Amino acid sequence: MPAANGGRWGRWSTLLAGLPYDVQAALYNRLEPRADLNPNTCYRLPILHSIARLTVAAAGTATSSWRFLSLSAVYGISKSFSNETGGTAAGQTLAFPDEVNIQINFNEGATTWIGSNAEPCQLASIGDAGHVTRLDPVIATRNDVWDLTLTGQAGLVNNVFSTVTLHGVKIYNAGGAI
């Protein structure tokens, strides 16, 4: 389909310029039907949205959530992981991110994005702040809540601390969140 206004994404071309192609396409599919929005009054901001630092114990769980305040595209995830208790000084070995499972759900828990009880995902599979794991974009609409659960495997030797960060962009217009 030929694009109007001189760009692949028609009237949304300027707003979407510079984003990865798959992110542009996902956002375009949400923005194009919105006749109530003027692309010239819309702008985007980066998402660096972290949960509070969670303590994870052996066979224990820690939970948190993200709330999206405007239309957003999430296409990266990273973690920080620290091991401040126990350790070799206390006669224990260090814990590692592959001893912690991660699960992220949205749509009020109906949709699993990462990990599940049946198909666990280890925290080690997610990059750190310097090596963000790139994912296919997922669109979060205004007031979506995504829930995070970290579960320490039974063999975890001491408490660990972790923060998970989502990366992407969020779209606003002159009137505020959309």
109-129 per-position pLDDT tens digit: 889 999 988 899 999 999 998
Q: Say if 24 falls within a structural domain.
A: no
Q: Say if 2 falls within a structural domain.
A: no
Q: At a CB cut-off of 8 Å and minimum separation 6, what does 51 contact?
A: 64, 65, 66, 148, 163, 164, 165
Question: What's residue 87's pLDDT?
Answer: 52
Q: What global pTM score does this model have?
A: 0.89
Q: Say if 89 falls within a structural domain.
A: yes
- pLDDT above 60 for 63: yes
Q: Say if 62 falls within a structural domain.
A: yes
pLDDT band for position 83 (cuts 50, 70, 90): confident
CA-angle at 126, arms to 46 and 105, nearest 5°: 75
Q: Say if 32 falls within a structural domain.
A: no
**Looking at 7-11, 60-64, 119-123, which range is the least confident one?**
7-11
What is the arithmetic mean of pLDDT over 27-38? 96
Question: What's residue 1's pLDDT?
Answer: 43
Q: Say if 38 falls within a structural domain.
A: no
- Containing H/E element for 148? strand 145-152
Q: What is the CATH number of the domain that holds 163?
A: 2.60.120
The span from the CA of 100 to the CA of 123, in Å, is 6
Q: Say if 7 falls within a structural domain.
A: no
Domains identified in the chain, total number: 1
What is the arithmetic mean of pLDDT over 123-150? 95
What is the arithmetic mean of pLDDT over 98-116? 92
Q: Say if 167 falls within a structural domain.
A: yes
Q: Can you give the residue range of the structural domain that contains 57?
A: 44-177
